[in-house]
Amino acid sequence: MLTNLNLAVRRDEKLLLVGPNGSGKSTIIKILMGIIKPDKGIIFNGINLKAGYYSQEFENFDLNARVIDFFADKANIDEFYASSFLKKFMFDTNKQKQKIATLSGEKKHAFLYPY
């Protein structure tokens, strides 16, 4: 359990959470994202903050959507640019056309999207 946590992440800084299963890493991320309210205290976000969150439970994914469509929609870019970006992460044209649900368990892909 964390108590009296004070944290400041400034522009261009990155945050890494490391710990054993069940130690609260996902809970901290959900608090920072505003998905869960903290027990006490206040979360301040910068005015121009654009945060992305990739849930390990996939609750914010439409599992029936094709990878290319989901990515292009979330990143607000056209399909051509989305395709070239996804190829950099080893999503070939066939993988891009697959439904997200079919990718479950494929550890070699990191599916993140920019804002």
- Is the pLDDT at 106 greater than 70, yes or no? no
Given this model, what pLDDT does residue 97 score? 96
Per-residue pLDDT reduced to its tens digit, 21-79 = 888 888 888 888 888 898 888 888 888 877 776 666 666 678 899 999 999 998 889 99
pLDDT of residue 110: 47
Three-class DSSP labels, the chain? CCCCCCCCCCCCCCCCCCCCCCCCHHHHHHHHHCCCCCCCCCCCCCCCCCCCCCCCCCCCCCCCCEHHHHHHHHHCCCHHHHHHHHHCCCCCHHHHCCEHHHHCCCCCCCCCCCC
Q: Where are the chain's structural domains? A: 1-60, 67-103
- The predicted model gives 87-105 an average pLDDT of 87
pLDDT band at 83 (very low <50, low <70, confident <90, very high): very high
